[in-house]
Structure 1
């Protein structure tokens, strides 16, 4: 398994070793020891989500106010483009994004730390996404950025978009900052240090 940090700090692409033979294939989707060595702390899993979406759908961009929710995402069926957006005020990559394709064929996964926003869109007629979450869903703490914010220019597929009413009504990144909804990089780094310290003391 290979874990490499992407162009936005605290977002990582996981490429597993896939072992295949005449019976099918086997891979480790997640390995706590490998993850901990690459990221610097353990991933504490509080919730496992499964989302099935049809082509044309855009889900996102979602985050949870600090202490936040880290996510470890993979695509079990079909394929998606998964987009991570840096919404941490003061970050050198604030407002920047990275996009990766996660498919049932490449078996890759994506990890994004607390303080990063996340969204995805299917590249196939149907896509099943499974993701581990470090905390349970907290509707009162949810932060949503409009995935179609023209200032962000996020790379969604041409078909669609089909959004939930909540996602379609979400503020732009600029508006969310003016509303005081966004975390700072310093707050997020303090959270990452806290997680690293908890890992060392276990």
Structure 2
């Protein structure tokens, strides 16, 4: 497994495993504490693992955590997703940058997303399983959602959206979210 820096998002990494394939299928290591540690991350910081299953065209996001934020490791364990990260850390050299990735079950690549970045994805295959590993327990009271189709972000989602949660569909614009975040920090 090797770690590759994501140039568009400061502090983000892609962890690329080496799947070993044969007539049975494949095997690969999807997490290696030594590799995670080698790029300055604490492998023991991750406290919860979750998985979502989506069908083709489903869009989830853009999600962010308020408060101290949430760092996460994201991997498509089955199928294929179009994954998006938006850097919303005001002190970051990549502030407001958007980066997209195609994550697949064939490669098992894992994306590390730093705290303070928004994240979303769209399922590109009939079934797409996405695994998450987060660095602090989930608290729904800290959930923040940004409109997936915000014109300021202009994310080129590859498929028409077939389904999304009401919360995601009704999400405010990036400008509205940023006003709330700034107001929250001052208050």
| Number of residue pairs aligned between Structure 1 and Structure 2 | 184
- Cα distance change of structure 1 residues 47 and 182 upon mapping to structure 2, 3 Å threshold: farther
CA apart distance, 1:66? 3.1
- Cα distance change of structure 1 residues 182 and 76 upon mapping to structure 2, 3 Å threshold: farther
Alignment deviations for residues 67-101 of structure 1 (CA, whole Å, 9 cap, x no partner): 22211111111100110111112433222111111
- Cα distance change of structure 1 residues 81 and 9 upon mapping to structure 2, 3 Å threshold: same
CA distance in 2, matches of 1:161, 1:21: 35
* Aligned-residue CA RMSD (Å): 1.9
Structure 1 residue 2 and structure 2 residue 2: aligned?
yes
CA apart distance, 1:41? 3.1
In structure 1, the residue matched to 2:177 is 176
CA distance in 1, matches of 2:176, 2:162: 21
The answer to whether the 8 Å contact 1:83/1:119 transfers is yes
CA distance in 1, matches of 2:43, 2:115: 13
The answer to whether the 8 Å contact 2:19/2:107 transfers is no
- Cα distance change of structure 1 residues 78 and 64 upon mapping to structure 2, 3 Å threshold: same
- Cα distance change of structure 1 residues 33 and 182 upon mapping to structure 2, 3 Å threshold: farther
CA distance in 1, matches of 2:11, 2:107: 22
The answer to whether the 8 Å contact 1:66/1:115 transfers is no
The answer to whether the 8 Å contact 2:124/2:159 transfers is no
Query: Which segments of 5 or more consecutive residues in structure 2 lack a partner in the other structure?
Result: none
In structure 2, the residue matched to 1:160 is 161
Under a length normalisation based on structure 2, what TM-score does the superposition of the two structures give?
0.90
In structure 2, the residue matched to 1:44 is 45
CA distance in 2, matches of 1:69, 1:90: 16
Query: Which segments of 5 or more consecutive residues in structure 1 lack a partner in the other structure?
Result: 185-202
